[in-house]
Amino acid sequence: MVSPAPHRTYDFVIAANRLPVDRQVKPDGTTTWRTSPGGLVTAMESVMRDREAAWVGWAGFPGEAPQPFDDGHLRLVPVGLSAEELTDYYEGFSNGTLWPLYHDVIVPPTFHRSWWNVYRTVNQRFADHVARVAAEGATVWVHDYQLQLVPAMLRDQRPDLRIGWFNHIPFPPVELFAQLPWRARILRGLLGADFVGFQRPDDARNFIRSCRAVLGATHKGDVVTWGGSDDGRSGAAPRSVRAAAVPISIDAQGFRDLADSPSVKARAQEIRESLGEPEVVLLGVDRLDYTKGIRHRLRAIGELLADGEISPPEVTFVQVATPSRERVEAYRTLREQIEGTVGRINGDFSHLGDTAVHYLHQSYPREEMAALFQVADVMLVTPLRDGMNLVAKEYVTARHDGGGALVLSEFTGAAEELKTAYLCNPHDIAGLKETILRAIRDDHEEKRRRMRSLRRQVRTYDVQVWAQDFLRALEVAPHRPPRSRRS
């Protein structure tokens, strides 16, 4: 056991693949750190306010880790990763094995023992860093699929800690999870936590079923009990771990204020004008990822154009595809396919000055995203599988003017909550086309009614409620928290 170190320790520690800051190198060679504009940072701010908190994560560039440093009240503890480790742990095991396996095997997962070995090594490094900075009895919140072994590795060293883990992506059905050669070790890693949180109740159920099938664990309601002896070794004392859904959300007030600012409104008007004041703007905003259903969406749009149901300049489609994981083969292939399809559609259906599909392969500041959302008459969020999908929640929040319409895939976590969206099955191209047309053509009152209810949902269950619900559940795990706003 690593005893709490003599240096400064913290009673709240977050472990996530990335630190919430980006390094900026100035022309004179000096470096500064800038807070990355992410939902997680905002969510954590609300729960870190009155605590001594540390955040353990990779600093965003390969090589030796910078020394820990303070950013306001928060202690940042960089974890060093070599270029080879990034290839094997991050691009390899996390994004080439786990990501496709956990997203319904949309592309086949790759299993490499060498990737697994590096994943283990890196998880151990994260656990060691957390063990060093966590105060006696501290609360530790571990994030996401890159760090599934950390809870047990940490528990081994620091049984005094209260450990929670949250999965930002889906947890697959046992029939798929069982393909993973290291399935038992992943589950044992997670069972080192006191509470494991998921986006949807189905994800929590999938996890519990996997624990039963793979480890022979028992369960009562949402509490899994496991004796620790599935591999024939005499195990530790049985542990009980609660697994439940705590769906993530956005900083609704912050995003609404941003969307309401005069500069964003002016920018929205400017974008609309530059698109040629179309009657209907359709918008898609996704990381360029095969889970997001961009190809299926383009197929539906292409057919609607071919059928003459929509046409520029009256209707135009804007697809923002954020560059993502460009060193992973499946992502490079996807980009080529998407750009080929956009080229073909525009070749067939655009006219000089009237573009059928505007395709933007770029990252934008939050202000630009908020302006784009305000321009969108119909937002197309049609992933084949998505843990939650924050774009859907950002869109309904940005449209506080009451306008707009949200087409939302049933296969997103968001669809569990945003039930008055125009729900669709993105695999069913005919159905998807019908749903898009309905979202375009329904009368204003029907659309406003739907959007009102969606906005209320996001406003009530914002990211601050999410973080508080998670921590409340962790505090009393394995029992249910007495006053959770969701249960």
Q: Which is nearer to ligand ADQ, 366 or 448 (CB)?
A: 366
In whole angstroms, how close is the CB of 374 to ligand ADQ at the nearest point?
13
Rule CB under 6 A: which of 225-254 touch ligand ADQ?
Answer: 248
Q: Which is nearer to ligand ADQ, 151 or 387 (CB)?
A: 387
In the chain, how long is the greatest CA-to-CA distance? Answer: 73
Q: Does 35 bind ligand ADQ (CB under 6 A)?
A: no
| 181 Cβ contact list (under 8 Å, min separation 6) | 111, 113, 116
Q: Which is nearer to ligand ADQ, 10 or 144 (CB)?
A: 144
Say whether the peptide bond before residue 313 is cis (omega within 30 degrees of 0): yes
Q: Does 389 bind ligand ADQ (CB under 6 A)?
A: yes
Q: Does 285 bind ligand ADQ (CB under 6 A)?
A: yes
| 396 Cβ contact list (under 8 Å, min separation 6) | 404, 406, 418, 451, 454, 455, 458
Cα–Cα distances in angstroms (integers) from residue 360 to residues 93, 188, 305, 406, 483, in the given order: 29, 42, 20, 20, 45
Using the rule CB under 6 A, which residue among 194, 386, 417, 469 binds ligand ADQ? 386
Q: Does 394 bind ligand ADQ (CB under 6 A)?
A: yes
**Running DSSP on this structure, what letter comes out for residue 95?**
I
Q: Which is nearer to ligand ADQ, 217 or 390 (CB)?
A: 390
Please name every residue paired with 76 in a beta bridge, in sequence order, or none if there are none. 55, 69
In whole angstroms, how close is the CB of 384 to ligand ADQ at the nearest point?
12
Cα atoms in the Cβ-side hemisphere of radius 13 Å centred on 333: 5
C-alpha span between 418 and 390 (Å, rounded): 12
| 236 Cβ contact list (under 8 Å, min separation 6) | 228
C-alpha span between 79 and 128 (Å, rounded): 10
Cα–Cα distances in angstroms (integers) from residue 237 to residues 43, 225, 229, 457, in the given order: 35, 10, 10, 42
Q: Does 172 bind ligand ADQ (CB under 6 A)?
A: no
Which span (134-142, 299-307, 358-366, 478-486) binds ligand ADQ, by CB under 6 A? 358-366
Lookup: tokens for 449: 């009614």
Rule CB under 6 A: which of 318-347 touch ligand ADQ?
Answer: 320, 322
Q: Does 361 bind ligand ADQ (CB under 6 A)?
A: no
Which span (58-66, 109-117, 255-263, 387-395) binds ligand ADQ, by CB under 6 A? 387-395
Q: Which is nearer to ligand ADQ, 253 or 363 (CB)?
A: 363
In whole angstroms, how close is the CB of 294 to ligand ADQ at the nearest point?
12
Binding to ligand ADQ by CB under 6 A, coded x per residue (else -) over 54-93, reads ----------------------------------------
Direct distance between the N- and C-terminal alpha carbons of the chain, in angstroms, rounded to an integer:
37
Q: Contacts with ligand ADQ: how many residues (CB under 6 A)? A: 19
Say whether the peptide bond before residue 478 is cis (omega within 30 degrees of 0): yes
In whole angstroms, how close is the CB of 99 to ligand ADQ at the nearest point?
9
Provide the residue type at 12 as one letter.
F
Q: Does 98 bind ligand ADQ (CB under 6 A)?
A: no
User: Which residue, 17, 463, 482, is CA-closest to 246?
Assistant: 463
Lookup: tokens for 417: 């909550």
In whole angstroms, how close is the CB of 163 to ligand ADQ at the nearest point?
19
Q: Which spans of this chain sit near ligand ADQ (rule: CB under 6 A)?
A: 39, 168-169, 248, 285, 287, 320, 322, 362-364, 369, 386-391, 394
